[in-house]
Amino acid sequence: MSENPYAPPGRPDDGDEVPDAPLSTGWMLDGGRLMVRQDAQLPMVDPFSGVSEERMTLRSLPIRYSPSWHRMTFAGAVLGLAGGGFFRFPHGLSPFLLISGAAAITLYLISGVFLSSVRIRVFTTRASNLKARMGNLINAMMAVTLASLIFAANSGRIHPAVSTGIAMLFGLSLIASISFRMLTWRLTCRKKTGDRYEVRGLHPDAFRFLGERFSPP
């Protein structure tokens, strides 16, 4: 059968066979740890769910080292900006919180540039792709409501009921973001010797899948 010139690029026709997955390269298991190089290609298993299906999405996934102090800096920045922007504390505490929040978010962004990061290619299922989009939507909602909250508190032209509604939306989006992070698998990495990175946070079933296909050199 001739190739359909109107088929979307990279997707086979319904009657065609599923293309073979690219060969996995640049990864190894070392004492129960997953070690990868930049642009490594993992086997056809979803690292977030451990599921392997016939049709999956191939993604280039950036992974960043995220120590606890870095996460706490972001949490402090959000609380400082929200508290200083919405609440009117006495003795100049509100401006102090705003300045502290701005300094914390600046530190968070600058320090993130120097943290270890690696990009690898992985396969993901439709469910994992949906969760990723949902997480991005929650984070975007939190950023928009935080900016709206600060603007409403400092403009003096927004009705108090509207400001309260924005504050409630921000609180809900913050709770949703924290809950989403706690309930979903997240990958982190740590730079090791040479060009190797240790990737942590894989689903146990995904790690078991890799173990069954790894052949020591």
Give 86-95 pLDDT, tens digit per residue. Answer: 666 676 677 7
Cα distances (Å, whole numbers) of residue 57 to 25, 121, 124: 17, 10, 5
Helices (H) and strands (E) in the chain, counts: 5, 6
pLDDT tens string 64-86? 887 778 888 888 887 777 776 66
Residue 124: per-residue pLDDT: 94
Q: Which comes out higher in pLDDT, residue 82 or 104?
A: 104
Distances (CA, A) of 203 to 72, 82, 193, 208: 24, 34, 25, 9
**Which 3 state secondary structure label does DSSP give 42?**
coil
138-177 residue pLDDT tens: 888 888 887 777 777 666 677 777 777 777 787 788 778 7
d(CA 25, CA 18): 21
Residue 200, H or E segment: strand 197-200
| pTM beyond cutoff 0.75 | no
